[in-house]
Amino acid sequence: MKLSVVMPVYNEAATLRTVLDQVALAPLPSGMELEMIVVDNGSTDGSLEIARSFCRMSQTRGAPEVRLLTCAIRGKGSAVREGLTHVTGDVVLIQDADLEYDVNDYPLLLEPILAGHTDFVLGSRHLSAGTWKIREFAKSPINSFVFNLGGLFFHGLFNALYGVRLTDPTTMYKVFRRSCLEGLTFHARRFDFDYELLGKLIRKGYKPLEVGVNYCSRGFAEGKKIRIWADPWTWVLAIVRFRYSPL
């Protein structure tokens, strides 16, 4: 069994090396191999060089296989899509290059798939927090409130249209068998890809199993890339469009 971790990176020099080290050393179910696919699209803060030096180091140490890709088209969705076309593992996991989530949750996320209970797992930030208030930006309670309220709206709309009852459809931790992607085509380029990937997997018949994960949100001062006024419209469009467009 091999796990492919796909990591989109855009200007994450502050956290990238730590995350790369954490993923390389992440606890995995016994016998599981690891492949890391890092996708940068035009970072200007030295992230590409950090990723390059990590790749070189991993080759000399014989650590997990690390591949560095660059993607000409901007956006997290474009980067993840590029990464997905290169995965060779049996199971795929999407991992951001910030420190909001905890790689120690990998075994929890992988076990239901390895045990054959499901082909698709989501790491829910709500199940473990026991509350819907998942984002707490210390210096900006108004932003936290807007994000959390918006989250309720988008999650509700998604659940209603796709006939599911997910607590956290937009979690970063989407983990699935590579074979689930067969026959699917993707179009979204930014954060709307979250909805496209999830929606299409559900429409293809894969019902996600949610497991609770750790989460500690970062704010805009710490490098969050979502654009508060520009991105939400793309999410509404994506939720509706990918519900009815061909798979």
Ligand X SMILES: Nc1nc2c(ncn2[C@@H]2O[C@H](COP(=O)(O)OP(=O)(O)OP(=O)(O)O)[C@@H](O)[C@H]2O)c(=O)[nH]1
- Number of residues this chain uses to bind ligand X (CB under 6 A): 22
Nearest CB to ligand X, comparing residues 119 and 192? 192
Nearest CB to ligand X, comparing residues 96 and 192? 96
Phi and psi based region of residue 71 (left: phi greater than 0; alpha: psi -120 to 50; beta: remaining): beta
128 binds, among ligand X, Mg ion, none (CB under 5 to 8 A by kind): none
Nearest CB to ligand X, comparing residues 10 and 120? 10
Instruction: Check residue 24 for interaction with ligand X (CB under 6 A).
Output: no
Instruction: Check residue 226 for interaction with ligand X (CB under 6 A).
Output: yes
Instruction: Check residue 194 for interaction with Mg ion (CB under 5 A).
Output: no
For 182, residues 6+ apart whose C-beta sits below 8 A from its C-beta are: none
Find the shortest distance in angstroms from Cβ 18 to Mg ion.
14
One residue of 81, 91, 93, 98 binding ligand X per CB under 6 A:
98
Touching Mg ion, residues 72-101 (CB under 5 A)? 96, 98, 100
**Beta-ladder partners of 7:** 38
Instruction: Check residue 102 for interaction with Mg ion (CB under 5 A).
Output: no
Instruction: Check residue 75 for interaction with ligand X (CB under 6 A).
Output: yes
Tally the C-alpha atoms within 13 A of residue 155's C-alpha that lie toward its C-beta: 17
Instruction: Check residue 119 for interaction with Mg ion (CB under 5 A).
Output: no
* CA–centroid distance for 206 within its chain: 17
50 binds, among Mg ion, ligand X, none (CB under 5 to 8 A by kind): none
- Tokens at residue 153, please? 């709206």
Find the shortest distance in angstroms from Cβ 230 to ligand X.
12
8 binds, among Mg ion, ligand X, none (CB under 5 to 8 A by kind): ligand X
One residue of 143, 167, 170, 245 binding ligand X per CB under 6 A:
170
Instruction: Check residue 224 for interaction with ligand X (CB under 6 A).
Output: yes
Query: For strand 33-40 and strand 209-212, is the pairing parallel, antiparallel, or unpaired?
Result: unpaired
Task: Answer positive or negative: Cα dihedral of 114, 116, 120, 124.
Answer: negative
Please name which of 190, 174, 196 lies closest in space to residue 76, comparing C-alpha atoms.
190
Distance (Å, whole) CA 51 – CA 151: 32
Distance (Å, whole) CA 75 – CA 68: 17
Query: For strand 33-40 and strand 65-70, is the pairing parallel, antiparallel, or unpaired?
Result: parallel
Judged by the rule CB under 5 A, the positions of this chain that interact with Mg ion are 96, 98, 100
